[in-house]
Amino acid sequence: MVIKNETEYERASERADEIFGAKKGTPEEKELQELLKALKAYEDDFVKMLKDNE
């Protein structure tokens, strides 16, 4: 999963909030892990972009 823009970021963040605390071994837990990885990658890219523009 790759988040490409702010709208996708917001949707992914909202979904992560909805399923936060999913039980281990469930499809929701797997989805949550993927969402968190994608959110982190988007945030890391955003911070990098800000630093590059300084």
Based on the structure, what is the number of domains in the chain?
1
Residue 1, domain member (yes or no) = no
Structure confidence by residue, pLDDT tens digits, 4-53: 999 999 999 999 999 999 999 999 999 999 999 999 999 999 999 889 98
Structure confidence by residue, pLDDT tens digits, 35-46: 999 999 999 999
Residue 28, domain member (yes or no) = yes
Residue 16, domain member (yes or no) = yes
Residue 12, domain member (yes or no) = yes
Q: Give the DSSP per-residue string, 2-16.
A: ---SHHHHHHHHHHH
The pTM is what? 0.88
Using the 8-state DSSP alphabet, how is residue 3 labeled? -
